[in-house]
Amino acid sequence: MALTGLQIQKLLPQTNCKECGSNTCLAFAMKLAAKKAELAECPYVSEEARRVLGEASEPPIRTVALGPDRRLLIGGETVLYRHEKTFFHPTLLAVNVDDADAPEALGATLARIRDYTFTRVGETFGVDLVSVTQRAPEADRFLDLAERAWRETGRPLVLRSPDPAALAAAASRVRGSRSVLCCPGPEAAAPLLAAAASRVRGSRSVLCCPGPEAAAPLLAAAREHDHALALAAPDMDALLALAQTLRDGGFLDLLLTLPAADPSARIQLNTIVRRAALKEAFRPAGHPLLCALPHGDPLETTAAAATEILKYGGICVLPEFDPAQLATLFTLRQNIYTDPQKPIQVEPKLYPLGDPTPDAPVFVTTNFSLTYFVVSGEIENSGISAWLAVPECEGMSVLTAWAAGKFNAATIARFFAENRIEDEVRSRTLVIPGYVAQISGELEDALPGWKILVGPQEAADIEGFVRSVLARTTT
Site residues (CB under 6 A) for ligand SF4? Answer: 12-13, 15-20, 22, 25, 28, 42, 44
**Least distance to ligand SF4, CB of residue 7, Å:** 14
**258, 270 in Cβ contact below 8 A?**
yes
DSSP 467: I
Q: Which is nearer to ligand SF4, 16 or 427 (CB)?
A: 16
Q: Which is nearer to ligand SF4, 20 or 353 (CB)?
A: 20
**Least distance to ligand SF4, CB of residue 137, Å:** 58
Other Cβ atoms closer than 10 A to 154: 11
> What residues does 228 pair with on adjacent strands?
206
**165, 131 in Cβ contact below 8 A?**
no
Amino acid identity for residue 325 in this structure: Q
> What residues does 125 pair with on adjacent strands?
118
**174, 200 in Cβ contact below 8 A?**
yes
**Least distance to ligand SF4, CB of residue 283, Å:** 24
**Least distance to ligand SF4, CB of residue 39, Å:** 9
Q: Which is nearer to ligand SF4, 49 or 276 (CB)?
A: 49
**Least distance to ligand SF4, CB of residue 16, Å:** 5
Cα–Cα distance for residue pair 262/265, rounded to 1 Å: 5
Q: Which is nearer to ligand SF4, 22 or 429 (CB)?
A: 22
**Least distance to ligand SF4, CB of residue 18, Å:** 5
Q: Which is nearer to ligand SF4, 25 or 246 (CB)?
A: 25
**Least distance to ligand SF4, CB of residue 27, Å:** 8
**271, 314 in Cβ contact below 8 A?**
no
> What residues does 430 pair with on adjacent strands?
362, 452
**Least distance to ligand SF4, CB of residue 101, Å:** 54
Q: Which is nearer to ligand SF4, 46 or 119 (CB)?
A: 46
Report residue 232: phi and psi, to 5°.
-140, 150
**Hey, is 136 helix, strand or coil?**
coil
Cα–Cα distance for residue pair 228/287, rounded to 1 Å: 11
Q: At what angle do helices 139-153 and 103-115 cross, to 10 degrees?
A: 30
Q: Which is nearer to ligand SF4, 42 or 362 (CB)?
A: 42
**Least distance to ligand SF4, CB of residue 54, Å:** 15
Q: Which is nearer to ligand SF4, 14 or 264 (CB)?
A: 14
Q: Which is nearer to ligand SF4, 50 or 82 (CB)?
A: 50
Alpha helices in 116-258 (DSSP H): 139-153, 164-173, 186-199, 215-225, 236-248
Cα–Cα distance for residue pair 407/174, rounded to 1 Å: 55
DSSP track, 73-101: EE-----SSGGGS---SPPEEEEEEETTS
∠ CA 430-436-438, nearest 5°, is 95
**Least distance to ligand SF4, CB of residue 62, Å:** 22
Chain-centroid distance of CA 96 in Å reads 19
DSSP 425: -
Distances (CA, A) of 307 to 253, 271, 293: 24, 11, 11
Q: Which is nearer to ligand SF4, 49 or 221 (CB)?
A: 49
Cα–Cα distance for residue pair 72/90, rounded to 1 Å: 9
Short-list 255, 127, 121, 257, CA closest to 184: 257
Amino acid identity for residue 441 in this structure: G
Q: Which is nearer to ligand SF4, 25 or 180 (CB)?
A: 25
Other Cβ atoms closer than 10 A to 237: 10
Q: Which is nearer to ligand SF4, 54 or 294 (CB)?
A: 54
**Least distance to ligand SF4, CB of residue 352, Å:** 48
**Least distance to ligand SF4, CB of residue 23, Å:** 8
